[in-house]
Structure 1
């Protein structure tokens, strides 16, 4: 299966009811501190507001946040780590009316309340230390 170039950027619309499915594998051993980052931007620029920031520090924790007018909000952090060293993952992010619901390998793990209107999202970026096999927006 062909790999998708990282960082991956796609212009999108993510109204309530949308679902983002990302399949990939950490690109290195967890002992080397790899990361995965998913950002839902409100404009087509890298420095635009981020309605949802999802960052996995594979060896330790998951951090979720948002960025508005250049200022980051309060981090939501979890040490619940469903990702496995060297193993492929399927990451799903469902846009619900009040929150984002994050599903890893078929199990719901995290939620993050909307701080910015999810309908304002115009670009998704996926990057850091991962090999991506698919990114599907439905």
Structure 2
């Protein structure tokens, strides 16, 4: 019974975060569209963090594939999902197009690298289950 509650809470937390982020996303549209060439805007920072987390997941997944590690596979899955979630949040809140300095390009990269991390983590988890 407690495990069921844990899974329910784990599924409800991202929904609560997205619900709280909606009013903030409406406020972000009032900011200027373009950022300076060397300025680190919140979109750039968010997409950079998302891409780095997803890249760490790819590395953990690759190591888990080589070593048949269940913990590394789970870490790759979690890092990939976190990278994709942050990347999707940046894409949803970006008020400019590519090249405006809002981190939209980096967010798309984070989505792709996060997807790769999740796939590699899933493959590693299946291999770890199969080998013992």
Question: When the two structures are superposed, what TM-score results if normalisation uses the length of structure 2?
Answer: 0.20
Greater helix share, structure number? 2
Q: Tell me: higher relative CO, structure 1 or 2? Use CA pairs within 8 A at least 6 residues apart.
A: 1
Greater strand share, structure number? 1
